[in-house]
Amino acid sequence: MLNSSLVNESLLSKYLSNVEGLNRFNELANARLAKLIEQREACFRNSLIGVVRPLLEQLLPTVLNEVTFPEREGLYDVSAAARYLNVSVHSVYNLVHTDCLGYSKVLGQYRFRKEDLDEYLKLAHVRTERERMRDVADRELLSEIKRNRKRKRCLE
């Protein structure tokens, strides 16, 4: 009986030793996993910052300019004119250099009046067939009215 008690104690001791070993292994694995997760999160944050920072640096001057110097009563700089016309900044410079768009130059920088931008849009408008036909009909009606006035004068 003594022998079996020693065997049971020995087995229990081995079992507890194994449980302690497993617990220690679990703790080490969890610590390693937490460290890996932390490294991945840091890597992700750094890569996200690497992507977002250049975009912010590019947009920040424009945003600050709009906050600091809001457009004054229809006076636009090149980037605001480009947004208003829904074209690129390069296209605005092309319109300036080909004298298609009126501008003022203040301290070497172009400024555009809202009226000039609207006039450009009006001139750039391509008329539809319906608009052209309506204009022809309007001209014919106007000619008819003028002829009738002349006839009335002659008959009087």
The gap from C-alpha 137 to its chain's centroid, in whole angstroms, comes to: 45
pLDDT at 123: 84
In the chain, the DSSP E strands lie at 75-76, 104-106, 109-113
| Residue of 90, 89, 92 lying closest to 100 (CA atoms) | 92
Q: How far apart are CA 89 and CA 39, in angstroms?
A: 42
| Residue of 93, 83, 85, 75 lying closest to 124 (CA atoms) | 85
116: Cβ contacts below 8 Å, ≥ 6 apart: 101, 102, 103
On whether the pTM is more than 0.95, the answer is no
**Could you list the pLDDT tens digit for every one of the 156 residues in the chain?**
556 666 667 766 777 677 787 788 888 888 888 888 888 888 777 777 777 778 777 777 776 666 555 555 678 999 999 999 999 999 999 999 998 898 988 888 999 999 999 988 888 777 788 877 887 777 887 788 877 776 666 666
